[in-house]
Chains A and B, each alone.
Chain A
Amino acid sequence: MTVLVVSTLLVLAGCATDEPTTGASGSPSAGTGSGKGSGTGKQSKFFVRADYDKQLALLDTAPTGPAGKPWEQALNPAMVKTAKFRKPGPHKLCFSNAGLNNPWRQVGFKTMQAEVDTHRDRISGFVHVDAEGKDQKQIADINDLLGKGCDALIVSPNTTATLTPAVEAACRKGLPVIVFDRGVDTTCPVTFINPIGGYGFGHVAAEFVTRKMKPGGKVLALRILPGVDVLETRWSAAKVAFDKAGVDVVGVEFTDGDPARTKKIVNDYIQRYGTIDGVWMDAGAVAGAAVEAFEDAGKPVPPINGEDQLDFLKLWKDKKLTAIAPTYPTYQWRTPIIAALKILDGEQVPNPWKLPQPTITQDNLDEYVDPTMPPLHYAMCGCTDLPGYPKRWQ
C-alpha cells in the first residue's frame, strides 16, 4: 500500500545527505530571503547558512591525496590521532546500514563489499545489518552489533538526529566508530566521511539551469519526497540560487520517484504554461521520465539536471541534451573500509573526511557513459579497479 511505497521511497531518497542538520555545525537559521514572487515558497527550517557557504567553497577546493583515487582524497583535511585504536589484525568490521532498497545504496554496498574483498588478508569478518530504512530498527541493530565483538563499527545513519543517541552509546563502548553518508549530531565518532553534500548538489544544478535557460524563463522543480533532510538541503540550496537570480519557478512538485507520475506532472505543466524553460531535480531517479514527457509533448527538452545514473547519461548523450549531472558519488562507500583499517593501524585520518564531489558535464560525459552497465548503475562508483568488475555490478 501507499505506506510501503513511501517507506521505499525514503530510502530511495536516502541516497545522499549532508552535514548534521543541527548541533555540531550550528543550529538551523531562517535562511535567506523569503523568495517572494519566485514561487519557491518558504525556506526550509533545515537550511543552515554556515554549512551552505562551506559547501559552496569546497566545490572549488583542490583535494589532497592520491590522484585518480577520489575515494582516498580529502578536502582541507584536518587529521586526528587514532593511536589508541591500534590493534593487531586480522579485524572484524561491523556495518550498520540504513537500508539497501534503492539503486544508489545497492551500487554503494556492492562497492563496499568489493573493497572488503581487496583486504581479505586483513579483514577476518565483515558483519552487515540492514535497518530497512527504519530508525528504530537501526538503533536496535547498532545495540545488537555491540555484542558481536567488532573491532570497528561503521554506521550509515538512516536519519541524522534520531540515530545520534545510539551512535553515542556505541562510542562509549570504546571501539572506533566511523560514520558516513549522513552524519550524526555528535563529534564522538573517529571520523565522519561524506562528499561535499546536498547544498553543493542543489546549487550546481540550479546554477546550471539558470545559466543555460533563456532569461526570465519558467522553471519546474521536481522533487522526490518532502521531509527528507537529504533532499531538503538540495532544494534549499537551489532555492537560494533561484531566488538570487530571480528565476520564475512555476511549480515545485513531488514525484514520489514514480516515472509515470513525473510524466503526468510535466505534461500538465507544459499544457498549463505552454512551455517550460528549465527543469531542476533533487535526484536523478526520474530524470529520464521528465525528458520523455517533453519528447511526447513534441517540445524541445529544456536545460535539465540528473544524476550520474547511466540511463540518464545515455539519454543525455543520445539526445544531445543540455544537461548536467551533479553527483553524490557511490565511491564514498569504499572510504569507510579504508578508514577503518587505517584507524586500526593507528594511522591518522581526516575528520571530517570530505570527499570530492565531481560533476558530470558535457565535456567529461563520454568518460562516464558505459553502454555495458545496467541503466540504474551509478557511473561515479569508482569501482572499475575493484575485483569482480563489471560482473558484480551488472
Chain B
Amino acid sequence: MRIARPPRLPGFRSGGLAPIVVILAVLLVLLSARQPDFFSPPSLMSFLGRSAPIVLLAAGQYFVIVSGELDLSVGSLVTAQVVVAARLIDGDPSAGWPVVVLLLAFGVAVGLVNGLVTTWLRVPSFITTLGMFLILVGAVYLWSDGAPKGGLSEEFRLLGRSAFEDVPALGRIPYALLVLLAAAALALVLTRSDFGRTLVAVGGNPRTAELSGVRVGRAKTMAFVLSGLAATLAAVLIGGYSGVSFQAGAGLEFGAITAAVLGGVALGGGRGSVVGAMLGALTLETLFTLMNFYGVSGALEPAVQGAIILFAVAAASFRVPSR
C-alpha cells in the first residue's frame, strides 16, 4: 500500500514521542482513578512482566517497518515456536535450554526466509509474510495434527512465569521483565548503531543508501531476522506465562504493528523510534487492563480498541502543507 510521509508539526513529527506519551499518560490516569493500587509495585511489576512479549514484538516490528517493510508472520511464528517447544520438551526438565537454542535458530531461519524472499525475489513483504503466516499456521497444525502434543516443563516455563521474590521496595521482579529490559537495551543500542542508522536510511531512500555503499537487501533481511528473534523471545515468555496453545500467538502481528504505528513509526519506513514502538505496545496493554477494570463488556472491547487506535493515529498524523 502507499504510505505518504509529509512533514508534521514539530511536536507531532512522526517518530516524535509526544502523541504516544500523552495517550499513555491519559490511560494511566484513568487507570489510577479506577484502581489506585494498580501502581503498587507488585501489581505494576506483574503488569510489566506480562506485557513483555508484545513489547518485544513491537520492538522487533520497529526494525522491519522502519526499513520500509512489514512482518505479518510474527504471530504465527510465536504459535509455531510454542507448539514446537511443547512437543520437543514434552515435560522433560532437561530439554529446556537446548530447545530454546533450537527455537532461536528457527526464529532466525524464518526471518531469513522472509528477508530473502522480500529482497531477492522482490515480493512485497506484505505478501511474503502473509504467505509465511499461512505456511507456518498450516505446517504447525499439520505437524501436530490439529492439537498441540506434549507439554512444556516447569523449568522451561520459569522464564515467563516466575520472578525474583522478596526484592526490597519492588517486592518481586518477573524474569520476563528482566528479559524485556535486556532486549530493550539491546534494541536501543542497535538503533543508535551504524546498522540502526543505515537501516533508517534504507527505509527512507533505498537508492541513496545503495549508492552510498549500503547493502540494502542485507540490511532489510537483518531487520526480518531481528523480528524473528523478537518473536522467539516472545514465544518463550508467552509459552512460559500461559503454557502451550494454538492461540499463543493469535493476532500478535496485528498488535505489534498497531503498537509501532501508535508509537509514531511510519509505515513505509524511514521514520520512528524503537522507544515509541515499545511505548505503543505498553499503551495497548494498558488499554486492555483499563477495560477489564472498568468492566467494559467483553463484546464491546474490540470497538473501544478500534476507536482509540483510529483517534490516536489520526491525531498523530496531523500535518501541514509542504513547500
Query: Which residues of A are interface residues toward B (Cβ below 8 A)?
Result: 1-2, 4-5, 8-9, 12, 41, 100-103, 105-107, 223, 226, 250-254, 256-265, 267-269, 271-272, 285-286, 288-289, 292, 296, 311, 374-377, 394
Interface residues on B, range: 35 or more
Compute how far the CA of A265 lies from the CA of B133 in the bound complex, rounded to whole angstroms. 27
Compute how far the CA of A311 lies from the CA of B147 in the bound complex, rounded to whole angstroms. 12
Q: Are B146 and A101 in contact (CB under 8 A)?
A: yes
Q: Are A103 and B242 in contact (CB under 8 A)?
A: no
In the complex, B106 has a CB within 8 A of chain A: no
Q: Which of B37, B149, B254, B289 is the one whose CB lies under 8 Å from A1?
A: B254
Interface-forming stretch among B111-119, B187-195, B204-212, B292-300?
Answer: B292-300
In the complex, B38 has a CB within 8 A of chain A: yes
Output the least CB separation between B306 and chain A (Å).
11
In the complex, B317 has a CB within 8 A of chain A: no
In the complex, B241 has a CB within 8 A of chain A: yes
Query: Which residues of B are interface residues toward A (Cβ below 8 A)?
Result: 35, 37-38, 43, 46, 50, 53, 72, 75, 133, 137, 141, 145-151, 161, 238, 241-248, 250-251, 253-254, 288-289, 292-293, 295, 297-299, 301
Point out the residues of chain B lying under 8 angstroms from A4, CB to CB.
Answer: 133, 137
Output the least CB separation between A280 and chain B (Å).
14
Compute how far the CA of A333 lies from the CA of B147 in the bound complex, rounded to whole angstroms. 17
Q: Are B297 and A252 in contact (CB under 8 A)?
A: yes
CB nearest neighbor in B for A2: B251
Q: Which of B137, B147, B151, B245 is the one whose CB lies under 8 Å from A259?
A: B245
Q: With A8-B246, A264-B289 known to touch, is A374 a contact of B254 (CB < 8 Å)?
A: no
Q: With A251-B295, A265-B292, A272-B293 known to touch, is A288 a contact of B243 (CB < 8 Å)?
A: yes
Q: Are A256 and B250 in contact (CB under 8 A)?
A: yes
Q: Can you give 7 contacting A-B residue pairs, CB < 8 Å?
A: A100-B146, A264-B292, A271-B38, A292-B242, A311-B151, A374-B150, A375-B244
CB nearest neighbor in A for B43: A271
Give me 10 other A-B pairs in contact (C-beta within 8 A), A8-B247, A271-B38 excluded: A2-B251, A100-B146, A256-B250, A258-B248, A259-B242, A259-B243, A271-B35, A376-B147, A376-B148, A377-B147
CB nearest neighbor in A for B301: A254
Q: Are A106 and B242 in contact (CB under 8 A)?
A: no
CB nearest neighbor in A for B292: A268
CB nearest neighbor in A for B174: A296
Q: Are A259 and B43 in contact (CB under 8 A)?
A: no
Task: Name B's interface SS.
Answer: helix
Q: Which of B137, B241, B250, B297 is the one whose CB lies under 8 Å from A263?
A: B241
Point out the residues of chain B lying under 8 angstroms from A102, CB to CB.
Answer: 146-147
Q: Are B146 and A259 in contact (CB under 8 A)?
A: no
Compute how far the CA of A282 lies from the CA of B67 in the bound complex, rounded to whole angstroms. 44
Q: Are B50 and A267 in contact (CB under 8 A)?
A: yes
CB nearest neighbor in A for B54: A260
Point out the residues of chain B lying under 8 angstroms from A101, CB to CB.
Answer: 141, 146, 246
Point out the residues of chain B lying under 8 angstroms from A288, CB to CB.
Answer: 243
Point out the residues of chain A lying under 8 angstroms from B241, CB to CB.
Answer: 260, 263
Compute how far the CA of A226 lies from the CA of B303 in the bound complex, rounded to whole angstroms. 14
Q: Are B292 and A105 in contact (CB under 8 A)?
A: no
Which of A101, A256, A262, A296 has the largest number of chain B CB atoms within 10 A? Answer: A296
Q: Are B288 and A264 in contact (CB under 8 A)?
A: yes
CB nearest neighbor in B for A110: B145
Q: Are B292 and A253 in contact (CB under 8 A)?
A: yes
Q: With A251-B295, A265-B292, A272-B292 known to touch, is A106 a contact of B146 (CB < 8 Å)?
A: yes
Q: Which of B46, B244, B288, B292 is the one whose CB lies under 8 Å from A269?
A: B292
CB nearest neighbor in A for B250: A5
Compute how far the CA of A2 lies from the CA of B53 in the bound complex, rounded to whole angstroms. 17
Point out the residues of chain A lying under 8 angstroms from B248, CB to CB.
Answer: 258-260
Compute how far the CA of A80 lies from the CA of B210 in the bound complex, rounded to whole angstroms. 78
4 pairs of A and B residues whose beta carbons are closest in the complex? A259-B242, A106-B146, A254-B298, A268-B292
Output the least CB separation between B92 and chain A (Å).
14
Q: Are B150 and A289 in contact (CB under 8 A)?
A: no
Q: With A1-B254, A5-B247, A106-B145 known to touch, is A263 a contact of B299 (CB < 8 Å)?
A: no
Point out the residues of chain B lying under 8 angstroms from A103, CB to CB.
Answer: 146-147
Q: Which of A41, A256, A260, A374 is the one whose CB lies under 8 Å from B238?
A: A260
CB nearest neighbor in B for A266: B292
CB nearest neighbor in A for B295: A251
Point out the residues of chain B lying under 8 angstroms from A258, CB to CB.
Answer: 242, 245, 247-248, 250
Output the least CB separation between B236 and chain A (Å).
13
Q: With A1-B254, A107-B147 known to touch, is A254 a contact of B243 (CB < 8 Å)?
A: no
CB nearest neighbor in B for A1: B254
Output the least CB separation between A311 and chain B (Å).
7
Point out the residues of chain A lying under 8 angstroms from B75, CB to CB.
Answer: 1, 5
Point out the residues of chain A lying under 8 angstroms from B148, CB to CB.
Answer: 375-376
Point out the residues of chain A lying under 8 angstroms from B37, CB to CB.
Answer: 271
Compute how far the CA of A379 lies from the CA of B261 in the bound complex, rounded to whole angstroms. 46
Output the least CB separation between A239 and chain B (Å).
14
Q: Which of B133, B242, B246, B299 is the one whose CB lies under 8 Å from A262?
A: B242
Compute how far the CA of A222 lies from the CA of B112 in the bound complex, rounded to whole angstroms. 40
CB nearest neighbor in A for B243: A259
Compute how far the CA of A394 lies from the CA of B244 in the bound complex, rounded to whole angstroms. 16
